[in-house]
Structure formats: structure tokens, C-alpha cells
């Protein structure tokens, strides 16, 4: 357990960057899925 604490304390910047990248990837996937659904709805009405 002590080595895990050492890892987190020595690599705080990388952990924060990793979490930020995961959040941004999730946002882009969410927006891409919404765009696909809207495109499908727009084409269905035409």
C-alpha cells in the first residue's frame, strides 16, 4: 500500500492529465453519438 501512495505522490501531474483526457474523450464520444442520432432523425423526416 505504501508503494501505491508513493506512485500517486510522484506522478500527480500524469494522473490529472490522464483523468482530463478520459473526460474529454467521453465528451467527444457523447457528442458524436448525439450527432449521429440527429442526422438519422433529420434524414428520416425528408
In this predicted model, what pLDDT tens digit does every residue of 1-24 receive, in sequence order? 788 888 888 999 999 999 999 999
Torsion angle in degrees (nearest 10) through CA of 35, 38, 39, 45 = 180
Checking if the pLDDT of 46 tops 70, the result is: no
What is the structure's pLDDT at 16? 94
pTM of the model: 0.73
What is the structure's pLDDT at 2? 80
Euclidean distance between CA atoms 33 and 28, whole angstroms: 9
What is the structure's pLDDT at 31? 98
- What is the residue extent of each domain of the chain? 2-45
In this predicted model, what pLDDT tens digit does every residue of 25-43 receive, in sequence order? 999 999 999 999 999 999 9
Amino acid at each position: 500500500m505504501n508503494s501505491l501512495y508513493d506512485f500517486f505522490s510522484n506522478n500527480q501531474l500524469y494522473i490529472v492529465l490522464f483523468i482530463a483526457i478520459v473526460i474529454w474523450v467521453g465528451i467527444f464520444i457523447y457528442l458524436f453519438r448525439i450527432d449521429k442520432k440527429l442526422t438519422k432523425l433529420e434524414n428520416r423526416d425528408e
